[in-house]
């Protein structure tokens, strides 16, 4: 069972740690393969629609998270670092209807292997406001809840992924 801890390190930073009962290779793949992302990304009830997605150093992504009410939330960024299966660093910016971007933040995710469990640590900075940081904390927590459920299905007996 996953356990989450959100830690606010400052008004401009957010850190979340979460244990997953799944092998590190599978947890990493869930973040870097758009097929996996489409099955868990976003809080409960959201759907994922990729426009483009290249999880390699210098690669870019753009996708839509559609909320249960039908509102589309577009997100895009650039992968700065990809160390399989240990670490991801990417930029994160919301796009409005005119294509303008919110202030960019940088997300760093590490994946630590502990037997068949994985400790995921997510750090995001620099936020422009406390409300933005807190909104992202809620969004990430909801997404990680969905990831936990997805990994329980994907990483179960007979799964071809994992290590």
Could you tell me the residue ranges of all domains in the chain?
4-154
Q: By the 8 A CB rule, do 90 and 105 touch?
A: no
- Which of the listed CATH numbers 3.40.50.720, 3.30.1360.170, 3.30.530.20, 3.40.640.10 matches domain 4-154? 3.30.530.20
- Gap between the Cα atoms of 118 and 106, Å rounded: 22
Portion of the chain with pLDDT greater than 70, in percent: 89
Tell me the pLDDT tens digit for each residue of 61-115: 999 999 999 999 999 999 999 999 999 999 999 999 999 999 999 999 999 999 9
**pLDDT band per the 50, 70, 90 thresholds, residue 163:** very low
Which residues are 91's β-sheet partners?
A: 106
**pLDDT band per the 50, 70, 90 thresholds, residue 10:** confident
Spacing of C-alpha 63 from chain mean position: 12
Phi, psi of 102 (to 5 degrees): -70, 165
Portion of the chain with pLDDT greater than 90, in percent: 87
Helix (H, G, I), strand (E, B) or coil at 85: coil
Residue with tokens 């936020």: 127
User: Where is pLDDT greater, at 124 or 97?
Assistant: 124
Spacing of C-alpha 118 from chain mean position: 15
Spacing of C-alpha 39 from chain mean position: 12
Q: Examine the pLDDT at 133 and tell me if it is beyond 90.
A: yes
- Gap between the Cα atoms of 44 and 25, Å rounded: 24
Q: Examine the pLDDT at 7 and tell me if it is beyond 70.
A: no
Q: Examine the pLDDT at 6 and tell me if it is beyond 70.
A: no
Going by the DSSP 8-state scheme, the letter that residue 26 receives in this structure is H
The answer for residues whose C-beta is within 8 angstroms of residue 37's C-beta and 6 or more apart is 30, 31, 48, 50, 53, 63
Q: Examine the pLDDT at 2 and tell me if it is beyond 60.
A: no
Going by the DSSP 8-state scheme, the letter that residue 100 receives in this structure is P
């Amino acid at each position: 069972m996953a356990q989450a801890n959100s830690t606010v390190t400052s008004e401009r930073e957010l850190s979340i740690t979460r244990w997953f009962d799944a092998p590190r290779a599978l947890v990493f793949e869930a973040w870097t393969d758009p097929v996996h992302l489409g099955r868990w990304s976003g809080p409960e009830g959201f759907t994922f629609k990729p426009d483009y997605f290249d999880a390699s150093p210098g690669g870019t992504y753009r996708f839509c998270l559609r909320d249960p009410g039908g509102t589309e939330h577009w997100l895009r960024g650039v992968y700065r670092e990809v160390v399989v299966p240990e670490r991801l660093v990417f930029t994160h910016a919301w796009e409005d209807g005119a294509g303008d971007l919110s202030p960019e933040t940088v997300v760093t995710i590490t994946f630590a292997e502990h037997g068949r469990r994985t400790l995921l640590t997510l750090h995001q900075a620099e936020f422009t406001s406390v409300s933005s940081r807190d909104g992202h904390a809620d969004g990430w927590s909801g997404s990680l809840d969905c990831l936990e459920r997805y990994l329980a299905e994907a990483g179960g007996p007979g799964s071809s992924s994992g290590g």
